[in-house]
Structure formats: structure tokens, C-alpha cells
Amino acid sequence: MDNEVRLGIIGLGNMGNYYARSILEGEVPGLQLRAVCDMDESRVASFEKEGVTPFTGTDELLKSGAVDAVQIATPHYFHTTLGIAALEAGLHVLVDKPISVHKADCERLIAAHTNKDLVFAGMFNLRTDPHFLKLKSLIESGEFGRINRVQWTVTDWFRSDIYYVSGGWRATWKGEGGGVLINQCPHQLDLWQWLFGMPTEIYAQCDLGRFHEIEVEDAVTALMRYEDGMTGVFISTTGEAPGVNRLEIATERGLVLYENNLIRWRRNETESSAFCKESTQGFAKPDSWEVEIPIEGNGEQHIGVFKNFVAAIRGEANLLYPAQEGVGSVELANLILFSGIKKQPVSLPLDSAEYEILLNKLISESTFEKKVVETKVETDMSASFQK
């Protein structure tokens, strides 16, 4: 078909390789893998025999005319620089999460999207999961009533030490710009702001290298306050096994729990605040009953994002995952770390210049000696994905 979208993937590590294989297997109709690019030649060479042009220089790829679009799956700092270069080269861009390491870089990247004919998307794959789509529609329809409190404990991001030494960029201020907040949590922090909006204040504890020999944070607990009084607690780590992924939403209409691929709702017959005012008994509670919200599967995840990217480029669908929306999760991650390092509450919005200064200071003052062990690209990424 002549409206096939020609894609180049930049960064052929674990993720880029997974995307490349999926596309070559025809999982995204209308998308052809035409080029791959990695500074490590050994990672791209094998693609040539599959009719995919290998590049070791990003400039060459971006100027080659071989592709209409690129997907960027490099270490995080390059999401900004390569994203800007690709947009300036007139290419559609799908950038992996986080869209940038810090808010100032997000602003630079987003500002480069001046040609609105170019589709600029972010890899927000958990937004395709029907559990979160259902929660969003129930929150927005007012079914739960006002939300009073949210707690998300997402500690099933366990990573062993070999993971951290498998790439020179990982878990360093200079190479990655943070730890669990900027690598694993962008998924949940994106969903958090997508479902509940942004808080007005954050107070956090962040432990640097508590479970691993790394210089960045691997355990965080953040308290959030919202304008309407809602409070939030966000907890994450890469050091706890088996860990838990439990989202608890306390609403006027009862308690909503997402865990183990189930949404359960202990539904109040009357809104708790109305019952509170009207009840004549001091120890009574509203009647409530258990509702299980039936949901199948986990959605199309990364492939779903690619499919929508292609449809948006062809003008067949609205873009569901605009990259611009990725700034929310980056701002939350930055604020949690900022508060944790300053050991004091921080207010929104984040002063992006001030945070960039802090990060640059962490980079320049680092004395951490990073160990690196040569490892193979992971061929099965499924264990690393959140379900």
C-alpha cells in the first residue's frame, strides 16, 4: 500500500529490539520497519538481511529520506535531543517514556513541535489497559463521587543488581538522571496525573541506593496534597520482592481497589459525607456491598500505541497519546526527588530551571564509580512489563 508508514527505530537495546521484532512480525499493520539505528554496530547489523537499513549515526538516519517516522528507545537524555532533531528533520516521532529526564528538557522538546502536521506521540502504553480506561471513565462520569484519598503502592518493579550494571547509563545522575522515579515509575505517574490530575504540594522521602549499589533513588514514599483536599500517597521501589501493585481510591461512593488485574469496589449506598451529616448513630457506617468490575486482558499496550501512531499519521484517527502529556509524569518524578533531596515540601508548579540546576549539581559532584558488565539484549521483555 502506498500509505504505509516507514519507520526507523533509534536505540536497539531491550526495548528497541522488542519493537523492531514485533513490527517485523507484522503486529502493526500499515507500519514498515525500514531502518534501525544504534551507536553499537553489533546491535543493528543483523537487521540488514531482513531488508532493514542499519545506521550507526542518528544524523545519517534522520537525513536519509528512508523513513517518515522514528521511534526513540535510547537512554532518557537522548529522548530530548533526538526528539528535537527528528522533529526538525520533518519526521513524525514516537518517543519512549519518560519523554525527557526533567521538566526543562520536556519544555525544550515540546517547543520543537512547531509543525503540527507531524504526529508527536509518547509511549504511554499502560493507558491502553482497560482497567485504567475503566477507572478513568468511572472517575470522569462522577460514578465514584468525590475522591478523598488515593494510595498507590507499586513495589513490583524488582530489579536485580545485574540489571543496573547491564548498561553504563543506568542509575546514574549523568546517564539516566534518576532511578526508579524516572525509569520504572513514569508509567504509574503518568496514569496518576491522567486519572487524578496534579497535586498542589508534595512531600517525599527518597532513598538513594538503599537496595542497590547505585547513586540514584531506588525507594520513594511521596505524600501529595490537592487543591480540593484530596490526599495521595505514592510508594515505589526496585528493592522489594515479591512487591505489590495496589491502587486504593477512597471515594464518597466507597473504596475502589485495583490489584492483581481486578478492580473491586466496596460501594456505599449513600455518599459517606451525606451519611456522616444525616446519621443519628455515632458508630454507624453507610451500607455497602462488593462490586467486581469485569475486565478482560491488559489491552494492546505498546502495539496499541504504535497502531494509534500509524492511524494518526494517516489521518484515520485522533492521536490518543500526545507526547506533550508526558510532561505531567516527569514533573511529578522531578518534584518527588526534589522534595526528597531537599527534605522539605515542594509546591507546584515545579521551577524547571531550579530543578535542572539541582540535577546538574548532582552530576558534577558525583564521585560514584559505575560498574558495567557486558550483557546480551533481552529477547523476552514480557517479564519487565507491568500487567
Ligand X SMILES: NC(=O)c1ccc[n+]([C@@H]2O[C@H](COP(=O)([O-])OP(=O)(O)OC[C@H]3O[C@@H](n4cnc5c(N)ncnc54)[C@H](O)[C@@H]3O)[C@@H](O)[C@H]2O)c1
Give the residues lining the site for ligand X (CB under 6 A).
10-16, 37-40, 43, 58, 73-76, 78, 96-97, 123, 125, 167, 183, 385
CB nearer to ligand X: give 132 or 226.
132
Question: What residues are paired with 35 via a beta bridge?
Answer: 8, 53
CB 206, min distance to ligand X, A: 19
Kindly tell me which of 156 and 252 has the beta carbon lying closer to ligand X.
156
Q: How far is the CB of 202 from ligand X (least distance, A)?
A: 22
Indicate the burial class of 219 (C-beta count within 10 angstroms; 0-12, 13-18, 19 or more).
Answer: buried
Residue with smaller CB distance to ligand X, 129 or 252: 129
Minimum CB separation from ligand X for residue 184, in Å?
Answer: 8
Long-range pairs for 348-353: beta carbons < 8 A, 24 or more residues apart: 348/198, 348/199, 348/200, 348/201, 348/202, 350/103, 352/102, 352/103, 352/104, 352/106, 352/107, 353/104
Grid coordinates belonging to 381: 521483555
Phi-psi region of 304 (alpha: psi -120 to 50; beta: other; left: phi over 0): alpha
Alpha carbon distance 33, 20 (integer Å):
7
| Closer residue to ligand X in complex, CB, 98/254 | 98
* Overall residue count recorded for the chain in this entry: 387
Cβ 109 to ligand X, closest distance in Å?
A: 13
199 vs 326, beta carbon nearer ligand X = 326
Contact present, 183 and 295 (Cβ < 8 Å): no
Least Å distance between CB 78 and ligand X?
5
Smallest distance from ligand X to CB 188, Å: 12
Three-class secondary structure of residue 113 per DSSP = coil
In whole angstroms, the minimum distance from the beta carbon of 207 to ligand X comes to: 21
Q: Which residue is nearest to ligand X (CB)?
A: 13
Q: How far is the CB of 185 from ligand X (least distance, A)?
A: 11
Q: Is 161 helix (H, G, I), strand (E, B) or coil?
A: helix
Phi and psi at 225, nearest 5°, equal -125, 135
Which cell numbers hold the place of 320?
A: 490518543
CA-CA-CA-CA dihedral for 131, 330, 140, 258, to nearest 10: 30
- Phi-psi category of 209—alpha, beta or left, where left has phi over 0 and alpha has psi -120 to 50? left
Q: Which is nearer to ligand X, 207 or 378 (CB)?
A: 378
Nearest to 310 by CA among 12, 29, 106, 23: 29
Complex with ligand X: residue 1 or 383, whichever CB lies closer: 383
* 138 or 171: CB nearest ligand X: 171
Work out how close the CB of 72 gets to ligand X at its nearest, in angstroms, rounded to a whole number. Answer: 8
Closest CB to ligand X among 184 and 251? 184
Nearer to ligand X, 100 or 268 (CB): 100
Q: State the minimum distance, in angstroms, from the CB of residue 218 to ligand X.
A: 15
C-alpha distance from residue 62 to each of 20, 42, 47, 256, 360 (Å): 17, 20, 18, 47, 29
Nearest alpha carbon to residue 71 among 99, 47, 45, 44 = 99
Dihedral angle at the C-alpha atoms of 63, 64, 68, 74, nearest 10 degrees?
-70
